[in-house]
Amino acid sequence: MTTIEGGMISTNSKKIDRLAKMKRGHGLLRDSQDDNFIKENIKKKKDLNNDFIFYTEGFNLRSTELSAVIGINQLKRLNNNIKIRNQNHKLFLSHLRGDIFFKNFNLKGSSNYGLHLILKKKSPILFKKILKVLDKNFIEYRLGSLGNQIRQPYLKRYKKNAYLKSLKNTEHMHFYSVYIGNHQALDKEKIIGLCNNLNKI
């Protein structure tokens, strides 16, 4: 789904629901919409204005009417779109070579927006060949399936070599994986054709 900007969180956790509502509204306690939780925390903060207790760090992420209309209308097609995406994902995996690519995904409850290519073994040469196939076919992709976030500048203070070494799977994904978009309008024959080209590497 897309709403141009913004989106939706779905949860069966009262705690996450409460936190998400506060986060979207500057972190204000009143935006938790949980009367008992509000009363409990107001008692603890007697030196603050009850309407302006910032319980958590927050943002101003309320959806616009236009974004909401786009999102609500897509909900009507969501179940069918998820079904098609899952079919795409299974088709994609069924046509990839199991000796080159990791295929053992747990797809229960999946509605994946990406088709992942993960090398089973470390091979910079083989990985470059994969990218060449994608580039040649004008297929956009994202390296590392977002990669190891510990390597990003905003988490620089946490970057310790010993910690990176302990994240073996994450590190492998960082250097030897890529994903391409999975959309309900993808042509099935093109998915199979791409797999055939990838299998030749």
Residue 92 near residue 115, CB atoms below 8 Å: yes
- Average confidence score pLDDT of the chain: 88
Q: What is the pLDDT of residue 161?
A: 67
Q: 16: pLDDT confidence band, cut at 50, 70 and 90?
A: very high
What value does the mean pLDDT take over residues 146-153? 76
Kindly report the pTM of this predicted structure: 0.73
CA–CA dist 90, 94 (Å, integer): 6
Domains of the chain: 98-199 (3.90.1150.10)
pLDDT exceeds 90 at position 168: no
| Residue-level pLDDT at 7 | 73
Residue 135 pLDDT: 95
CA 187, CA 24: separation in Å to the nearest integer?
A: 37
Q: What is the pLDDT of residues 62-112, one digit of tens each?
A: 778 888 888 889 889 999 999 999 999 999 999 999 999 999 988 888 888
Q: What is the pLDDT of residues 28-60, one digit of tens each?
A: 999 999 999 999 998 877 777 888 889 999 988
**What percent of the chain is modeled with pLDDT above 90?**
56
